[in-house]
Structure 1
């Protein structure tokens, strides 16, 4: 099973549409972690499970979503991160993820790409496809999970080139 994860696109439409076209037959789910700054019903946001970021003003976005992906039984908690102060610490986000029973936590806000396993929960920030921080590449992530819940998170620049030094491998459960 594969999941495409993007965040902090801040008004981009062309790149979101291109990512959907590129991965529509490769991934089971597409997630946008907020700050799209687009209408929830726009063409660019269709097909994405999306949440509201601090720069989103469409009230059709929820602040958080808990999504169960049936092919592997994992619970994905999706939020932007600003309500949990993720620029300072992941502790508040970890507590919320534990409350809702999440296995995978997808968030954005900091524009810093990375993934890590904390207390048997996989945290993924795909970075930003327009305004990256701490690196020059504009990034998104692809999570691959097998039946045994072995996970590989790969990060790509917006032009589709993998960034190997960001890759994270782990097992959930």
Structure 2
């Protein structure tokens, strides 16, 4: 199981809370950008994090491809691929990189869908939710035989009932 969060916008405490909850049990913890924290902050020890459009520290990378639980996981913020307009550009990039899972942030809304066998996931925002679900949230992903169990969770680490998926 691994954890995905995004768009914490200066809220270091929420990143710390999620890290503390999962650091002993998760195989990986990802932050999809717009933390607005320094890339040298010790909070990032044990967390894979990328640059968002509000991260001005040049110590962050625009994307990272990492293997987790036998899957190639691509992580980016999404602004460079215009994810607010759809996933076309990001899906081309993810397929080019051979990703099995493509994580992104930027739009502050939960997205979980498969395109050409690749799982695309936006964990929503842990600080500034937008859209239909006005809940600060993050996601966990469990990999089972040929399926992904996706659980969106609130900041009390409770599952959000209508945002539980098997894809």
Partner of 1:79: 76
Partner of 2:49: 50
TM-score by length of 1: 0.93
Structure 1 residue ranges without an equivalent (≥5): none
Report matched runs for 1:32-51 at 5 Å: 32-51=31-50
TM-score by length of 2: 0.96
Give how far 1:103 is off: 0.3
Please list every run of at least 4 consecutive aligned residues from structure 1 whose deviation after the TM superposition is greater than 3 angstroms: none
Alignment RMSD (CA, Å): 1.0
Structure number with the higher strand fraction is 2
Does residue 138 (structure 1) correspond to residue 107 (structure 2)? The answer is no
Partner of 2:102: 105
Partner SS, residue 94 of structure 2: helix
Q: Distance in 1 between matches of 2:127 and 2:99?
A: 28
Partner SS, residue 20 of structure 2: helix
Give how far 1:44 is off: 2.4
Partner SS, residue 3 of structure 2: strand
Give how far 1:114 is off: 2.1
